[in-house]
Chains A and B, each alone.
Chain A
Amino acid sequence: MSRHTIEYRDYAGPVQSDLNETLVRELTEPLIADLSPAEQGELFDLLSEAHFAHPEAYTRRDRTNDPLAFGLPELTVLLTPVMLAAMNEAVRYVVASALARGTRATANAIRRLFGHRGPDNPDTGDTLVLTDQQWSEIRRIVEQVARKGGVAADQAEVIADAVIGRGASGRTAS
């Protein structure tokens, strides 16, 4: 880790929560569409609202022996809260890294960094560039959060690949 980066855990984050929520939601939704199509659309909205209302709940372990409940015995891995949490931590790390270098991490720059482009997000303006080491750190953070959310190790790698993959394409573009 270079001396210009700060430890992720030291960063409390100046990013406003509202902005953060919108941004994280924007960045996560396409990933959900790819990895868990069943959660896209109205369910994604419902789950993301619940996640931001209770950000730590994604780590909760549900009981399956409720005397009055009926359903399949297996627990479903809800990717929406896990990926929202992972993306939130990744964005927070990026913002912290930028601040450490004395640059400003705008929302558009973060969008571009993670390969999120569209007609309202042109390829101009501030850019963020991360080193391979920082991308590795983001991968570690995403995997760590995913595992904390009950995702199996191999699936956590897939999630990290998805996040980094979009970021990698953004890096190439910049």
Chain B
Amino acid sequence: MTAATTRDGEQDLPVARPEPIRAPAASRVHFLLLILTVVATGAFIFLSIYLLIPAKVQRLNATVASCTAAQEADPAFTAPVLTDEDVERAKEVSRRFQACMSPTLLDSATFVAVGLAVLFGSAIVIYRVHPWWLVRRRRLVRLADRGPGPLLEELERLRREMRLTRCPDWRLAPLARTTGGQAFGVPGHRYLQIDAGLAVLRVTDPPAFRAVVRHELAHLRNRDVDQTHMTISTWRAFVVVALVPYLALMLHPNLFLNPLGWRWEHVAFVSNPASAWYRFGSLLVLTVLVYLTRNAILRGRETHADATAAIFDQPDSALPTVVGRLPAPPWWRRWGTHPHPRRRLAAIHDPRLLLTAGFWELVGVGIATGLVCGSMGFLIGINFTVDPVLAFAVTGLVAGGLAVGLLTVAIWRTTARDPAAPPSWRTWLGNPTALVVGFLAGTFLTLRESSTVSQDLASISPTSWMVATALLLAGGVVLSAWITSAARGVLERPDRPGWGMPAVVVAAVATGAVWFAVWLPTSQIDDGFADGWGAPPAVGADIDWYTWVAAVTGAGYGPMGRLVFNPLTLFGLTLLWLVPLLVATAWCRPLSPLQPGPLRRASTATLLGFGAVVLLSVALPAVAPLAVPASVRTGSDAPGVSFEVIYENTTIALASVIVAAVMITVLVRVRSHGPALAMLAGCATTVLAAVVLSYLAEPLACHVNVGAATEAPTGCFDDATAGRLSTRAHWTMLQAILVAAPASLIVAVVRSLRRRSAPEAPTGARPVRGVVVATSAGLGLLAAVSLWLAVLTAPVAYQVWLDRAFG
């Protein structure tokens, strides 16, 4: 190391300057989505290539024929499924078929995996050798080799000003007449290229020279070099390893069989034009998507570097001048690698603009998510498990989690510009809508879709599609409203903790991903969301109101069971109230939800709800015998639903209505942290209701013999189990959310129109310490009980989710 690169100039360090705004990790999420898109598209491309290899196709066809014959010869395959044992036998048949197919499917999966490994291996190689290649191609000269000099000394001074402790390997590009620079390299060895033209600028225009160098140093400070070059490497590897071979095979399908025997009638566009053009169009859009995602990453890093450099470029700032001299790209390069100078200047003057995310950005994310869900769910389903529900759920959990994460970041960034302002409808409605629109577009672009276009396999009815879409959008809007509220709660604080934003992201992802994972497989089935009303009662079907109650309270809703028997459901819902409160109570300052105002209202609503459930538990056993004849209440072997089940369903349904009323009340009456407190009140009331239903209502109903049993029941108070407690809590909470969600949307719309979402004025009163301790203990207990109830669903959840695939 030369003298010029030592830290001998520390005394020249400028006085402390403000830290640059740390941009949220949207670009990292972009990068992950880029990788997922490449994985999904690449996997299907390699599978298509596999199916174009004659030997592989012959083996696959032979295996399918033999396994199908064996399955059809199995008596259990054709036997009717009437009992639980029949179901188990049917599952065994499926498992045997999968075991028969698995060697061949494993072979295709291995082929795809190897293809992806080659693709990403190539990307890594390109990334690792890029410094060597750039140094060699540009004939870069190491400045440190020549000893100290004015140029190197000034560069080092700028480096120290930017508070970069590690010296980059300064390189001069002596043949470059451009006046720019470039940061590149791998971890442990960063290069910073100075063009010869820029070195001249040091004398002719020192402020401009410093502005350019600071911009490049900002890339090192922002640590975006690896992600940038890995993005470019991935794009290049995708083109070379996947895209070009696939296009070649579309033009010459017999390339592997008879390389020299090309005939025009074999070209896919001629032999099967509809499918080929759809595939080609999809591939074109996918490629453009990968390319645009790449560009979005590059644009983001440039703007972020401008903002960071501007912080250190204040005394003689030439950065705006330099950026202002950049040529404005034509409209067709709006989505190119460099942002418009106008946007860059705006970000320099107001770094908060970095925090904004456009709708198009979220549409792109939605498309990528749709692609991943469509392609990967299908691939996992046919290759690794006989259970397509599980395959799509796993895909939805991962891809949906990422999409929700980016949605959260986008809302956070928008809110951060002015947390005190009332949230705009664009934030909580526009952002999820853009994401959903992109997702729907992406599902039509998957290569799976293109492979089935001529086979009419994608037979989801328009009505079913619209219902599924509406539910997805509604869920996205409700979640966005919560994210907006939680973000405001954190961002309004001047001394917010650093973990506030990650915690909100985790809570949103933990909830949104689970619900999306349940939604996704259901949306693949025609009428998946259209399960009907409850079955008529076994006895008493002639009583209209009784039949109506049985129908309403017993209404089955396809995906609900997958949410009820799911340990992650209540876990996510708990985070929705716990995280905002934890962030807020990290200070215990005025306006905290632990202040008497908002929390008292939520507590009051909870207690009222609890009282209502107790009243219900006492009243229902007394009212039921008066309303329903004993002959109806008595058990019967007739087909239909028994009184006992209808009574249980009714109890839970009424409790759900009470919980929903509590949540809506809190939403209407509390403006600060409304969604979090509504969820807190809902969870608290639900847990209390489940306890009351299990340990008061059910024993009491048994004790007074509501079922009109001929023999007086005994041991009524011994029947409660923790499992039933958990199930009741889940059903109650989820049904309450079904009722409260539309109401919460109405509240949000009304609030948005009336612009009354400003936080409540501080009371100035400090909370009493004893109250704070007691409340905190109560909240901790509630969180612990909720998590315990979530864990209790695990055994049944295994049967619902994993039993079919893993036995």
Chain A: residues with CB nearer than 8 A to chain B? 36-39, 41-43, 45-47, 49-51, 53-54, 57-58, 60, 62-64, 66-78, 81, 150
Contact = CB atoms under 8 A, between A and B. Distances in A.
A167 to B, nearest CB: 26
B181 A71 contact: yes
B172 A46 contact: yes
Interface stretch (B200-208, B433-441, B690-698, B777-785): B200-208
Contact of A37 (B178, B181, B196, B203): B203
A67 B333 CA distance: 12
A54 B176 CA distance: 12
Contacts of A54: 139, 175
A46 B140 CA distance: 11
B684 to A, nearest CB: 53
Contacts of A62: 176-178
B585 interface: no
Given A49-B174, A67-B337, A68-B298, A43 B181 contact: no
Interface in B148-179: 149-151, 172, 174-179
A66 B180 contact: yes
B302 A70 contact: yes
A150 B325 CA distance: 22
A43 B199 contact: yes
A69 B182 contact: yes
Interface in B607-665: none
B139 A53 contact: yes
A70 B140 CA distance: 17
Contacts of B200: 36, 38-39, 43, 76, 78
Interface of B: 139, 141, 146, 149-151, 172, 174-182, 184, 195-204, 208, 212, 215-216, 228, 232, 298, 302, 305, 322, 325-327, 337-338
Given A71-B198, A76-B201, A60 B175 contact: yes
Given A57-B175, A73-B325, A67 B338 contact: yes
A38 B172 contact: no
Contacts of A51: 174
B150 A71 contact: no
A60 B181 CA distance: 18
Given A43-B151, A76-B179, 4 more contacts: A71-B198, A72-B180, A76-B196, A77-B177
Contacts, number: 109
Contact of B201 (A50, A67, A72): A72
A51 B172 CA distance: 13
A39 to B, nearest CB: 6
Q: Which of A41, A45, A51, A76 has the most CB of B within 10 A?
A: A76
Task: Name which of A38, A63, A150 has the most chain B CB atoms within 10 A of its CB.
Answer: A38
B509 to A, nearest CB: 31
A46 B196 CA distance: 9
A116 B695 CA distance: 108
Interface-central residue, A37, A46, A75, by most chain B CB under 10 Å: A46
B208 A47 contact: no
A70 B196 contact: no
Contacts of B305: 70
User: Taking each of B141, B180, B182, which has the highest tally of chain A beta carbons within 10 Å of its own beta carbon?
Assistant: B180
A150 B327 CA distance: 21
A61 B289 CA distance: 32
Given A42-B149, A42-B151, A43-B200, A75 B178 contact: yes
A50 B197 contact: no
Contacts of A53: 139
B235 to A, nearest CB: 11
B181 A75 contact: no
A72 B337 CA distance: 16
A66 B178 CA distance: 10
Contacts of A49: 141, 174
B172, B178, B184: most-surrounded residue (chain A CB, <10 A): B178
19 contacts: A38-B203, A39-B200, A41-B150, A42-B151, A43-B196, A46-B141, A68-B337, A69-B178, A69-B180, A70-B181, A72-B212, A72-B322, A73-B325, A74-B179, A75-B177, A75-B179, A76-B177, A78-B200, A81-B175
Nearest to B305: A70
Nearest to A69: B180
Nearest to B205: A72
Contact of A150 (B177, B179, B203): B177
Contacts of A38: 200-204
A69 B194 CA distance: 10
Contacts of A78: 177, 196-197, 200
A42 B212 contact: no
Contact of A69 (B181, B199, B204): B181
A47 to B, nearest CB: 5
A47 B196 contact: yes
A72 B139 contact: no
Given A47-B196, A50-B139, A72-B212, A42 B177 contact: no
B203 A71 contact: no
A68 B539 CA distance: 76
A70 B215 contact: yes
A34 to B, nearest CB: 15
A51 to B, nearest CB: 8
Contact of A70 (B177, B212, B232): B212
Contacts of B204: 38
A77 B180 CA distance: 14
A68 B182 contact: yes
Contacts of B216: 70
Nearest to B218: A70
Contacts of A73: 325-327
Contact of B195 (A50, A57, A67, A71): A71
A69 B199 CA distance: 15
Contacts of A77: 177
Give 8 closest A-B pairs by Cβ, nearest first. Answer: A71-B180, A50-B174, A76-B197, A38-B203, A67-B337, A72-B179, A69-B180, A42-B149
A42 B150 CA distance: 8
Contacts of A43: 151, 196, 199-200
A39 B200 CA distance: 6
* Residue of B141, B202, B228 ringed by the most chain A CB atoms within 10 A: B141
A67 B198 CA distance: 17
